[in-house]
Structure 1
Amino acid sequence: MCKWAPPSSGLQQGLPLQPLHRTCLLLALVACTTFASFLPVGSEGDSQESLLWNSAETAGLPWALGRREWSYHHLEGDVRLRRLYSANKFFLTIDRTGRVRGSRRRNHTDSLLEIRSVSVGVVVIRSVSTGLYLAMSKKGTLYGSAEYTADCQFRERIEENGYNTYAALRWKHRGGPMFVSLGGRGRPRGGHRTRRRHRSAHFLPMLPS
């Protein structure tokens, strides 16, 4: 009876690898090393979602990865310099008198804002030039506050169209949120008249030029 015997090859014990085998192994090692270099690296506990977000933020495109509400844990304590550009083409400004309004000028001194994350999804907005905080009163009126109070906290959310909305954290109107909003002439709208769907309440946080 004939017995099956494996074909002889350079991988048998005691025999050197043939050139073709060595080449295949080298190609496999190079492919694995190249793939690993493209994997995101984060601290222990970082989720894949937060790593993707950080990559998009670095590229200046925080809304390029989808149109849903993201986890903001990695932004706690984060400080960003931005200009808030409304969907109806105004830059939000806070002047030295505490007046909040919109300007068409891209490089308006009072439009450069410091957006600081104080907790998950909650930010404080402060004018760099005047040092005043954006605030909303119980009646929904926007104003610049010299002191940091609970009126200065806003819930930041990325909407489905890629714009951000900023709703007062402390105050509501009939159980619904009141939003930062600039009307057709650049004047702030009362929070009780705003809705999440309104274009006047939608802002793009733009990098300063």
Structure 2
Amino acid sequence: MCRWTASVAHLRPEPALGAPAAAAPPGRPLPLPSAASLCLACFTLLLVTSGTATGACAPGGRNEPLQMLASGVNCSWTLERHTRSYNHLEGDVRLRRLYSANKFFLCIDKTGKVDGTRRKNYAESLMEIRSVSVGVVAIKSVSTGLYLAMSKKGTLFGSVKYNPSCKFKERIEENGYNTYASLRWKHGGRQMFVSLNGRGKPRRGHKARRRHPSTHFLPMLPS
């Protein structure tokens, strides 16, 4: 890119910084720039053009590569790294039936009772799972309109109004099932999970653990 073949005349030492440049003898052309100076100029020009083309140096909304180079500022460090946005996840709604590893579908009846059923197409087991923030969901029964909620003591119930007790942290486990832990409440520093025991009855959140099959749910598409 910057190939330059220096002649013998160009191998003499350059004048010291600040010293006046020697005048060329009469009748002789001025000496050409050295190979190092020419390569440095090419490299500077390459930086300027590449920064302008890619928009890498755009302080204040416009490209100012020459001013940046003149001030000695490194363009690569003047750009702020923007945090990746996950706002597209907020408000996402899925219609699912939460099928537990114990072979029960989670349901909420009109009285607010949370239970498990083996009936596949049971109306009260169809849930609306809405993302309220990254990794946090609200679960609502489509037929009853009640939100799944957990009390401070770890009891599951259906809430008429959406409130902080209705927020659950959704996590995909290694076996492909999901777990749902209360975002608001903990017991002794431990998370409390939505859980159905072997008889399909809800367990207290503080008695469930992440590795227990009773806390594992598979969100199934409604048939």
Percentage of pairs with the same residue: 77
Residue 184 (structure 2) pairs with residue 170 (structure 1) = yes
Deviations 1:147-205 (A, max 9, x none): 11110000000000000000000000110100000001000000010100000000000
- Please state how far the C-alpha of 1:206 moved relative to its aligned partner: 0.3
- Structure index of larger Rg: 2
The amino acid that maps onto 2:106 is L
Identify the residue that residue 135 of structure 2 maps to in structure 1: 121
SS at match of 1:143: strand
- Please state how far the C-alpha of 1:73 moved relative to its aligned partner: 5.5
SS at match of 2:214: helix
User: Which aligned pairs between 1:26-105 and structure 2 lie closer than 5 A?
Assistant: 74-105=88-119
- Tell me the TM-score normalised to structure 2 length: 0.61
Identify the residue that residue 9 of structure 1 maps to in structure 2: none
User: Which aligned pairs between 1:193-204 and structure 2 lie closer than 5 A?
Assistant: 193-204=207-218
CA distance in 1 between partners of 2:86 and 2:186 (Å):
22
Identify the residue that residue 108 of structure 1 maps to in structure 2: 122
CA distance in 1 between partners of 2:91 and 2:162 (Å):
16
Identify the residue that residue 150 of structure 2 maps to in structure 1: 136
The amino acid that maps onto 1:115 is I
The amino acid that maps onto 2:173 is E
SS at match of 2:206: helix
SS at match of 1:183: coil
- Please state how far the C-alpha of 1:74 moved relative to its aligned partner: 4.2
Q: Which runs of 5+ in 1 are unaligned?
A: 1-70
CA distance in 1 between partners of 2:153 and 2:129 (Å):
23
CA distance in 1 between partners of 2:202 and 2:175 (Å):
22
C-alpha change, 1:73 and 1:204, in structure 2 (3 Å) is farther
The amino acid that maps onto 2:97 is R
SS at match of 1:110: helix
SS at match of 1:151: helix
SS at match of 1:181: coil
RMSD: 1.2
The answer to whether the 8 A contact 1:181-1:191 is kept is: yes
CA distance in 2 between partners of 1:152 and 1:141 (Å):
12
Identify the residue that residue 167 of structure 2 maps to in structure 1: 153
C-alpha change, 1:171 and 1:155, in structure 2 (3 Å) is same
CA distance in 2 between partners of 1:198 and 1:179 (Å):
10
Deviating runs (4+, > 3 A) in structure 1? 71-74
The answer to whether the 8 A contact 1:165-1:203 is kept is: yes
- Please state how far the C-alpha of 1:75 moved relative to its aligned partner: 2.2
The amino acid that maps onto 2:90 is E
Aligned length: 139
The amino acid that maps onto 1:83 is R
- Please state how far the C-alpha of 1:77 moved relative to its aligned partner: 1.3
CA distance in 2 between partners of 1:122 and 1:138 (Å):
18
- Tell me the TM-score normalised to structure 1 length: 0.65
Q: Which runs of 5+ in 2 are unaligned?
A: 1-84
